[in-house]
Amino acid sequence: MADEKMLQLAINTIRTLSIHAVQQAMSGHPGTPMALAPLVYTIWNRVLQFDRQDPIWPNRDRFVLSNGHASMLLWAILHLTGVQAVNAEYENLGQPSVTLDDIRRFRQLTSKAAGHPEYHWVSGVETTTGPLGQGVATSVGMAIAQKWLAARYNQPEFNIFDYNIYAVCGDGCLMEGVASEAASLAGHLGLDNLCWLWDNNHITIEGNTNITFTEDVAARFLAYGWNVLRVGDANDIERIERALAVFQQTEGRPTFIVLDSHIGYGSPHKQDSPEAHGEPLGDKEVRLTKRAYGWPEDAKSLVPEGVYGHFQEGIGKRGAQARKHWLELFAACQTEFPNLADEIARMQRRELPAGWDRNLPTFPADPKGLAGREASGKVLNVLAQNIPWFLGGSADLGSSNKTTLTYPGAGHLQASAPGGKNVHFGIREHAMGAVVNGMSLSKLRPFGATFFIFSDYARPAIRLSAIMELPTIFVFTHDAMGDGEDGPTHQPVEHLASLRAIPGLVTIRPGDANEVVEAYRYIVQLRHQPAALVLSRQPLPTLDRAKYASRAGVARGAYTLADAVGGDPELILIASGSELSLAAEAQEQLVAEGIRCRIVSMPSWDIFEHQPKEYRESVLPPRVKPRIAIEQASTFGWARYVGEAGRVIGMDTFGASAPLKELQKKFGFEPDRVVTIAKNLLAAGLNQVA
C-alpha cells in the first residue's frame, strides 16, 4: 500500500509541476502532461535503460517526446530522476540537467525548460521536437542506426548495442504526412527495437478529432507491418508495463501502442476540452485539479519528501547497474576487438578515423568534363570505404543521384541485412531528412539524396538538423536547368536562396569535379553543422588548375579563380556551379578585348561570410564596383555581393520545358550576354575608387 501511495505521489508530482509551470508562464499545454504522467512514469522508472549520471552513454534506451508541446513531461521527469548535465566536450558538469528553478521559469529566456524539447541545450533530450511528426520520424532513424551498429559491432558474447527507442506521439503527429512516410519505412525494415505510443485522446486545439481524423489508425499500422497493442486506460500502470514487455519480446516488427487517455484530469468539466490542451488552466482550475489529486492547494512546484528517492530506487539503480555492466563489457571488447572498440570511441566523439581522406580523386583538366553528380558518386565510394560509419542513400533516385555505393561489400540495408551501407529511403523525402537526423543523433555519419527541386519536401527536417547542429549531409543533384525537357516542375529556382537562408546550414554549389572533391573534404570535417551539396546533372568542364587557382579555395567559400591580367581588375565576374565555366568563357573574351577581369568562384556564401574581413575584401575589393554575378537560380540575395552598381544574371521567373542549350539561350546564360553586360557596366563610367 505504501508503494502504491508513493507511486501515485510521484505521478502527481509530474502533473503538478507541469500545471504550475504552465500557469506561471501563462503559456503552454498542461493537458497532455496531466494525462500522460502515468505513461512517462512507467517508461522511465520501470522500463528505460538509462543512467542519469551519463545521459550520453552509447547503449542507453532513447526516449522521444514527439508531441513536443507537452515538454513539461520531459522537464519534470529529467528533474525528478536527477539526470546530469553534459557539455559539448562530453564532460559531466556535476549539476542537474534541469533544475527546479528551470521549471519555475518554464518558457523563459535562459531556462533549460523551453517551450519544446531542444537537443544539445538539455542533456536527456534525444532530439528537438515541436513540428508534429518530426519526433517519431526521427526515431525511425535512431532505430535504423541501432540495427546498423549492432550488425557491425556486436560480437559473440559482446552485445555492445542492444538498446530500444520509445517515442510518444499524439493525434497531430499521426496526421502529419512525415509520420506516415516514416512508419511505412519502419514496417518495411522490421524495426523491432522501435515502439511508438499514441496518446489517443481525440482532442486537438480545434476540438474533437471527429471533425478531421476518423480513420482506423490501428488498421493503418497493421497494414504498415507493425505489431499493434491497445491499453484502454492511460492511468493503468500495470497494463502499460505489460504492453511494453510485449514490445520487448516482439521480433521482426515495430510496435504501435494505442493508449486511450483523457486530455485533462481533475476538474470534470475540463476533461476532454481543447482549452485544457491549448492554454493554461487558470488559477481556479489549478486549485480544483490539485484538490482532486489530494494536493496542497497553495503549494507551488512542490516535490514531496520521498519522491526523489523513489526515482533513485527505480531508474537510478537500474540505469547505473546497466551502464556498469556495459562499461565492463566494452572494456573486455577493447581487449578482444581493439579496432572495433576504437571505431566506437571515435564515432561517439564525432572524430574521423586516420586516413579518412586517402585516395580522394583528382580529376584531370577536360573541356568535356564530368557532371557534379558523377564526381560526387566517386567521392562517396571512397569516403564510405575510409569511414566505416559513413552510409546513406537516396529517395528512390540512387542511380540518378549517383549515390549508390558500388564497392565490394557495401551492401544494401534491409531487414535481413541491417549492416548494409546503401540505405533505400523510398520516395519519402521528408521522412528521409528526419531519418538522416536520427542516424546522426546516434553518431553515424549519414547522407540523404534527391533532386534539388525536392529539397522542398525535406526542408523541415533540414531546418531541424541546423537547429540541432548535426553534421548531416544532404546531396542534391539536378541543380538547375540541366534536365531541361522536364520543365519548370523539375527546375529549381528559389531553392538555393531558401537553403542559404537557414542559419547554420552550409550550402555548397561546386563549379567542377575538383571543387566537388574539396566540398566533400570540407563537409566531412564538420562536427556541428549540416551541409547541403548542390550538384549538376550535366557534365561541367573540369578546369585546368595549372591555369586557374587551386581547388583548395573551396574551403574558404569563395576564391579568386583567375585574376586580371596587366593590373588591378576593372570588373569582377562571380559564379557558382555550372555557371563557373560560363564565367571563364566570358573572361577570355573580355581579356582578348583588353579588359582586366577577375573571376571569383563562390560555391558557398555561408563559408565565405565566416572568413576574416581582410580575406573577403581581398577576393571582392570594395573599390571595384563593376560586378556581375551569374547563377541559374533566383537573383534574391546577390545584391550583397554585386552592390547597387552591379548586375545579376539569374532567374526571376520559373523555367521552361526544352533542351538545355535552348534554355540557356532563352534565359541569357551565354558568354556573349555576359560580355555585353560587362561592357555596358564599364561604359556607364563606374569608377574604381572606394
Grouping H, G, I as helix, E, B as strand and the rest as coil, residue 375 is: helix
- Pairwise CA distance, residues 431 & 179, whole Å: 7
Q: Which of 180-194, 278-292, 298-312 has the lowest mean pLDDT?
A: 278-292
**Number of other residues whose CB lies within 10 A of the CB of residue 336:** 12
Grouping H, G, I as helix, E, B as strand and the rest as coil, residue 414 is: strand
Phi, psi dihedrals of residue 182, rounded to the nearest 5°: -70, -40
Phi, psi dihedrals of residue 390, rounded to the nearest 5°: -95, 120
| Cβ–Cβ < 8 Å for 517, 551 | yes
- Predicted confidence at residue 689, as pLDDT, reads 39
- Checking if the pLDDT of 250 tops 50, the result is yes
Query: What ranges in 253-312 are assigned the alpha helix state H?
Result: 274-278, 283-293, 307-311
Angle between helices 177-189 and 217-224 (to 10 degrees): 40
- Pairwise CA distance, residues 518 & 524, whole Å: 10
- 238 has catalytic annotation: no
- Homologous superfamily of 366-541: Thiamin diphosphate (ThDP)-binding fold, Pyr/PP domains (3.40.50.970)
- Pairwise CA distance, residues 402 & 380, whole Å: 9
- Checking if the pLDDT of 371 tops 50, the result is yes
Cα 250 from chain centre? 29
Strand extents, DSSP E, 419-502: 422-423, 445-451, 473-477
Q: What is the pLDDT of residues 560-595, one digit of tens each?
A: 999 998 899 999 999 999 999 999 999 999 999 999
**At 407, which amino acid appears?**
Y
- Predicted confidence at residue 114, as pLDDT, reads 95
Mean pLDDT in the chain?
94
| Cβ–Cβ < 8 Å for 194, 147 | no
Hey, which residues does 166 pair with through a beta bridge?
Answer: 63, 195
- Checking if the pLDDT of 120 tops 90, the result is no
- Predicted confidence at residue 264, as pLDDT, reads 52
**At 17, which amino acid appears?**
L
- Checking if the pLDDT of 552 tops 60, the result is yes
β-bridge pairing 165-169 and 559-562: unpaired
The cell numbers describing 511, all together, are 563549379
**Same-fold call for 2-323 versus 557-683:** yes
**Number of other residues whose CB lies within 10 A of the CB of residue 300:** 14
Cα 503 from chain centre? 13
| Cβ–Cβ < 8 Å for 48, 166 | yes
| Cβ–Cβ < 8 Å for 313, 6 | no
Grouping H, G, I as helix, E, B as strand and the rest as coil, residue 346 is: helix
- Predicted confidence at residue 267, as pLDDT, reads 44
- Pairwise CA distance, residues 189 & 391, whole Å: 16
CATH of domain 557-683: 3.40.50.920
- Pairwise CA distance, residues 345 & 75, whole Å: 29
Helix (H) or strand (E) holding 368: strand 366-371
- Pairwise CA distance, residues 306 & 19, whole Å: 21
Residues 131, 132, 133, 136, CA torsion sign? positive
Helix, strand, coil share of the chain (percent; to 5): 45, 15, 40
| Cβ–Cβ < 8 Å for 396, 448 | no
Grouping H, G, I as helix, E, B as strand and the rest as coil, residue 200 is: strand
Q: Which of 429, 518, 570, 579 is catalytic?
A: 429
Give me the numbers of helices (H) and strands (E) for the chain, helices first please.
26, 23
pLDDT band at 220 (very low <50, low <70, confident <90, very high): very high
β-bridge pairing 571-575 and 597-601: parallel
Hey, which residues does 571 pair with through a beta bridge?
Answer: 597
pLDDT band at 269 (very low <50, low <70, confident <90, very high): very low
- Checking if the pLDDT of 40 tops 80, the result is yes
- Pairwise CA distance, residues 636 & 496, whole Å: 9
- Pairwise CA distance, residues 387 & 393, whole Å: 15
- Pairwise CA distance, residues 270 & 285, whole Å: 8
- Predicted confidence at residue 49, as pLDDT, reads 98
The cell numbers describing 545, all together, are 588548375
β-bridge pairing 84-86 and 92-96: antiparallel
Half-sphere CA count of 329, side-chain side, radius 13 A:
18
pLDDT band at 470 (very low <50, low <70, confident <90, very high): very high
- Pairwise CA distance, residues 434 & 128, whole Å: 11
- Pairwise CA distance, residues 195 & 254, whole Å: 6
DSSP letters, 595-658, are: --EEEEE-S-HHHHHTS-HHHHHHHS-TT---EEEEEEEE-TTTHHHHTTT-EEEEESS---SS
Class level of CATH domain 2-323 = alpha beta
3-state SS of 3-45 is: HHHHHHHHHHHHHHHHHHHHHHHCCCCCHHHHHHHHHHHHHHH
The cell numbers describing 514, all together, are 575538383
Q: What is the pLDDT of residues 485-527, one digit of tens each?
A: 999 999 999 999 999 999 999 999 999 999 999 999 999 999 9
- Predicted confidence at residue 275, as pLDDT, reads 47
Cα 435 from chain centre? 8
Query: ∠ at Cα 271 (269, 273), nearest 5°?
Result: 90
The cell numbers describing 166, all together, are 520509445
**pTM for the full predicted model:** 0.96
Residues above pLDDT 70, as percent of the chain: 97
Residues 156, 159, 164, 165, CA torsion sign? negative
Grouping H, G, I as helix, E, B as strand and the rest as coil, residue 221 is: helix
Q: Residue 512: CB partners within 8 Å, gap ≥ 6?
A: 363, 369, 370, 540, 541, 542, 543, 580, 581
Query: ∠ at Cα 511 (506, 515), nearest 5°?
Result: 70
Q: Residue 309: CB partners within 8 Å, gap ≥ 6?
A: none
- Pairwise CA distance, residues 425 & 418, whole Å: 14
Q: What is the pLDDT of residues 125-169, one digit of tens each?
A: 999 999 999 999 999 999 999 999 999 999 999 999 999 999 999
Query: ∠ at Cα 181 (523, 195), nearest 5°?
Result: 95
- Pairwise CA distance, residues 97 & 83, whole Å: 6
- Predicted confidence at residue 287, as pLDDT, reads 86
β-bridge pairing 165-169 and 62-65: parallel
- Checking if the pLDDT of 277 tops 80, the result is no
Locate the domains of the chain by residue range. 2-323, 366-541, 557-683
- Predicted confidence at residue 566, as pLDDT, reads 87
Nearest to 559 by CA among 633, 637, 650, 620: 620
Per-residue burial over 389-414, b = 16 or more CB atoms within 10 Å of its CB, e = otherwise: bbbbbbbbbbebbbbbbeeeebeebe
Phi, psi dihedrals of residue 507, rounded to the nearest 5°: -105, 125
